Structure 1
């Protein structure tokens, strides 16, 4: 039984870190730097991003991002998400954790690195109105969609499966707007109400669409090539992400809350249990946060 548990823990670490045993090289480097960074332990960002609800949030953000045809075209045509989905996940986690816990120099460096990768991501897509348009991954408008879909996902899932947020939801949206600015997003929202208004503006304008490409991508997100030991838990987390979506976006994605015949399944409770088990496997405090706290202690920061 102990060997099975160790194997399961190793597979979780492999999925999230890319390595079942050692930490990625960038994690200890978060202890380096000469300032506290954009966010500190008493911030809303540390609270939300330190929660296990981020695992559900990641799935929800991917589902939402598929609805913008320009963003989806860039992912499908220029990334290797099918061949190496865990590699793409590792890159995303690296950027999030570095901006959250790193020094300001580390956060800027990580964001600039992503922007350089985006420079070659260009092409054409059919928009929600049937018009052929060009896309460019560093287009501020596309970056704003990605930023808002991310922010909305992390905030909403934390409301359900996390705890209190210092300063409330507005504080998280306002603080994480800094990440949007680092990535070149145009006018990132600074309050929850503004975020919802901007998010719905794409929907109301008919800029979002569902087509075969969205269906294929959603099917991949629903059933990624995970180790068999992780699949039962992932099914719960996927159902959680679907249940957390606003009904109009869930309907646009052609997704339904999990049911057993006419009865809804207790997804919220099952997700609490699943996230609790994952938390036990990963430990009380993420290595990224531990490294950041070492930097803060070195700098004499109290908070």
Structure 2
């Protein structure tokens, strides 16, 4: 294949996983989880276009979600230059933003390493958890490889890669350390309300109830038990959530990739045009690697 392979390349775990349609549900789970960190969620609510009204009195909820998807797609499938440029843009925005603790009056930057690390870990944990639980074939060694790969995406947003969990054990240890600091704040309740009922024109409310509500409910159900306890809302039994994730994953994956990839922002189509048909992401490529190689070799083979 000719052309720039980007930060990860077509043989990486990231390249295969991020082409899966369950990434949308995983992204919503990440938002639910991220909102439980008081300092992080405060920075979001005080700055995000999804929650702050523009000059026209409107909130750009859907636009904010699409910009996040565009960033993930660019970092995964874009050229190295495009990914680095996207990271520089995010770092520049974060440097200019701050939040205020209403209880103490403390003002702090949203680019504090601890806050960036929480956002990063909630994202990669959600991507791995939802895809694996929904039946996507990621082995333990490949899951570790995925987390190792995403030290690179952490670097893009301003983190030192050496401080970022690079395997499942390190990620579990990180969550164990941070859990005592999580809480259901008024800001987290706002995020919960937003995710359950995002601002929608009146004419489109029925479509929201039909298409969005099941996604939000499934993402909430996929949260860890401690998150359900903090939110104080019941969730289906774990076995029920797993069954629904598998059914949903099966239905979405039955849609031909050529159709799914035509939806915005179309990063996969551009990557395939740049690198050739062999760059198409597919679950079977992970299965093939796992079948041919042992766990340690698999992790090395999948990294370009």
Q: Shorter-chain TM-score: what band?
A: 0.7 to 0.9
Q: Which runs of 4+ in 1 moved over 6 A?
A: none
Q: TM-score, normalised by structure 1?
A: 0.77
| SS, match of residue 64 in structure 1 | helix
Question: Using the alignment, how far apart are the partners of 2:178 and 2:8 within structure 1?
Answer: 30
Give the match for residue 58 of structure 1. Answer: 27
CA deviations 1:211-251 (Å, max 9, x no partner) are 22211221111111353324323222222212211101221
Match of 2:83 among 107, 115, 123: 107
Q: Residues of 2 paired with 1:34 and 1:276: CA distance?
A: 28
> Higher relative contact order by CA 8 Å / sep ≥ 6: 1 or 2?
2
Q: Which of 138, 141, 156 is the matching residue for 1:182?
A: 156
Instruction: Describe the SS at the equivalent of 1:78.
Output: coil
Q: For 1:229, what is the secondary structure of its paired residue?
A: helix
Counterpart of 1:151 in structure 2 is 124
CA contact (8 A) 2:30 2:126 kept: yes
Partner of 2:293: none
Q: When the two structures are aligned, how many residues end up with a matched partner?
A: 260
Contact 2:100 2:106 in 1 (8 A): yes
RMSD: 2.9
**Which among 230, 235, 243 is matched to residue 221 of structure 2?**
243
Q: Where does residue 56 of structure 2 map in the other structure?
A: none
- 8 A contact 1:233–1:274 mirrored in 2: no
2:275 maps to: 296
Among residues 245, 252, 268, which one is paired with 2:245 in the alignment?
A: 268
Shift in Å, 1:180: 0.5
Question: Distance between the aligned counterparts of 1:172 and 1:67, measured in 2?
Answer: 24
How many Å separate the matches in 2 of 1:50 and 1:281?
A: 9
Equivalent pair of 1:236/1:271 in contact (CA under 8 Å):
no
Q: Is residue 76 of structure 1 aligned with residue 76 of structure 2?
A: no
Does structure 2 retain, via aligned residues, the 8 Å contact 1:239–1:258?
Answer: no
- Cα distance in 1 between the residues matched to 2:4 and 2:240: 49
Change (3 A) 1:274 1:213: farther
**Residue 188 (structure 2) pairs with residue 209 (structure 1):** no
* Structure 1 residues 132 and 200: alpha-carbon distance in aligned structure 2, compared to 1, 3 A threshold: farther
- Note the residue ranges of structure 2 that are not aligned, 5 or more in a row: 52-58, 280-284, 286-304
Matches within 5 A, 1:81-100: 81-82=50-51, 83-100=59-76
Q: Deviations over 1:157-179 (max 9, x none)?
A: 01112421375211111111210
Residue 115 of structure 1: how far off its partner (Å): 1.4
Q: Which moved more, 1:168-177 or 1:158-167?
A: 158-167
Match among 94, 107, 114 for residue 134 of structure 1:
107
